[in-house]
Structure 1
Amino acid sequence: MRRTLTAAAVALAIPVLAGAVVSPAATAGAMATPGRGPAFGTSRPAVAPPNMPETVYGGAWPSGHVQGVAVDWSRGHVYWSFTNLLVKTDLDGKVIGTVTGLTGHLGDLDLNPEDGRVYGSLEYKAERAFYIAIFDVTRITRTGMDAEKDGVMTTVYLNEVVEDFTADLDGDGVFDGDTAQTADHRYGASGIDGISFGPALGSSGGRNVLMVAYGIYPNTTRTDNDHQVLLAYDVRRWSLLARPLNQTAPHRSGPGQPYAKVFVRTGNTTFGVQNLEYDRHTRRWLMAVYRGSKPEFPNWTLYAIDGTVTPQTGVLTGQPDGATGRIVPLAPAGLTHQDTGIRGWEGPGSFGLEALGDGRFYVVTSGTTTVDGQRRQTGTAVLQRWTEASPNPFAAPGPAVAGRRPAARTAASH
């Protein structure tokens, strides 16, 4: 018998019309239908000014490596995730403040241009709890601010992620925990990492959704872990769900299901989409990953989705019992793998990627240094421009940037 996803995940088609909204279901009826809000980009110019610095240094920290970056060019601030630490600098790299005390994994970041807050993926795998952390960045004014005590962060629980992460696929009644070598974890889900704001798939504008990408365990023995999994959320009423985080007693307040759930076949990667970024210049969603290791796939490090293409319901290759889901193809650009038809690049971005709206990007490099005998992690945002070239589509900035994409197309045209 053909197994399908939950009715909501399949039936909630991503709207084709710009500005169309489907609100997510709320836990215990807490969320009402969203009212009208500001249009995309109204609280921050859609394009960064031309005089952005060539590099921004995020500092050196006794923490995990740099995970992601978000740039608020209207206020001149840069936000950095260093795994268990959020850092706020100005565009000269001067540290303005930090948020500390996180015991979970803080991953990719993005600025919500509609409320001016920074959103980040936050994992507590041992507690089976996955959140979107929401930072009120106007309150980050000094170093050493505490994530729990200083009122700078709230969190929203993602039940959909937990259900896939804890799925008992082998039916033995045992949750196998945080391990790649298991038959459990639906789609190979290891949690979440990449996140970004942008228009709903199938449109070229309109209201933002928050797109959240799964982490995917690296496992070459399975066939059901070759898709990237993306959840879309309408966050305009998340203030009703957000709670301060108590890390000794994680809360479960969040939407009952995502606004939409889509699948992108890239082949298995090492822990899924590390950085997800919507680029309004090309109208693409870029997915930067750590290289996979299945020999039958190209195992590139950068993939792209054409955001104007509407996902279509289809059979998910490699899933048992002919399971179906909403599928979106990779953008027809970059290198082509002859055996699978997969498209992509040997590009950077897994440590941080920020689109500036006109073909320029900040691409983050990770490094280490020693300060007073202590090994510290560093992050540097380097200004690049999108060229579309293969194998690496990024180059040093110049006077011209790649042209805009043609008019929207449908999946059928591919």
Structure 2
Amino acid sequence: MSDPENKPASTAITPPPTRLMSGMVWNMGSLVFLAAAGVVMNIIIARVYDETVLGLFNICFALYIALSQFGVFGFHLSALQSVSEFAHDDQDRAISGAFHAVVVVAISTTVATLAGLVLTPVLAQVYQIDGFVTAWLVMLPGLWGFAVNKVLYAVINGARQMRVFAVMQSLRYIFMIAALVVLALTDAPGAYITLSLTIAELALLPVLGVAAIRAVGLKRMALDRVWIRRHLSFGARVFLSGAILELNSRISVLVLGYMAGAAQTGIYTMAVLIQEGVMQAIFVVRNNINPLIARHIRDGERDRILKLSRMIFLGGAPVFLVGAGLGWLLYPFFVDWFLGDPIYYVARTPLFVLLAMMGIAAPFLMFNQTFSQAHKPSVHTGYMATVLLANCVLNIALIPGMGLLGAALSTGGSFVVSSIMLVVLARRVLGVRIVF
């Protein structure tokens, strides 16, 4: 067995990392495509079917993403951290870390997929929507592939191959749109549109595998219990944070689906769609700075994190707030030109609330994986759990009386809670200042 911490450094050469600004440019290009692809997918569903099928798709997708986090079990963050730390100093350790992350995630995602199958009758009782069971079952094979793919994305991200990362992100949506178009053209029943997720993930898996191998390298190796324990330990402490993060962005959809039904959920998801498209810009920056945060903390360069956060704050917040105003102004044209159904006008005000509150919090959300990068996964989990709790309480309190607006205020409020907690905890736990 080899010790992943003490093994002598390898002299093998890995591909050079993408420069920070170049990586951001590539990922911003990918962002534009991802946002457009998400819009196209939902437009196809809304035009070919109706708001009820759109709501069904998004309820299933929210559940799918939430359950997939248990399949990933935090191994994507463990892979990201280990590859970020070793990719350009010790290739052997980077390869071993990536390989063992894939091994353990293949097991955990199998368990999660089987759990999803067992939970089908329970979910059907909660969401008594026509076609729900079919939509859920045809999506489950994609759940397995999604978790493995997420770890492979993390390997590429950790090696800072951001151009490849951007292309691979775009390819996922190309596969999804292609599958959805085929389903629509063949007049597939609305319940089968979730099959597009399964097709995309399984088609993406071998392509991502090759890209990850190119990013860190390949060598023969036996299973190493030291690495397996390292990933299991990290994952056990951080996996809830991944589930919490995904639930936090989708809890309003799940609560609306239960309280208001698929049609109202379908209308609201048009606002969520645009907000999540804009949110990709936050993820692009976060994906590029995560490896830097890990190294700055390792090397004790906490002042460089403060400088980086201030630069992003000054450049990011105004852009996002202007974007919120533009989103509110342009949304009616989007409905008229692409959806062709005035029922979606109702989502205009919730959209503005989501974008505005996200704009205020955006520079902080870019640093919300700081604790995991600092080897503090338990702190990260507690931080995200508190944000989710606040979001749940707000949704349950506001949706019955305020409907879609209540859902938007709840999600936006969770962004603000997240920002305040990040600033306080980073200073107290890590001695790191974020912006202030």
Is the TM value for this pair above 0.5?
Answer: no
Q: Kindly indicate which of the two structures has a greater share of residues assigned to strand.
A: 1
User: Which of the pair has more CA radius of gyration?
Assistant: 2
Q: Kindly indicate which of the two structures has a greater share of residues assigned to helix.
A: 2
TM-score by length of 2: 0.29
Larger RCO (CA within 8 A; separation ≥ 6): 2
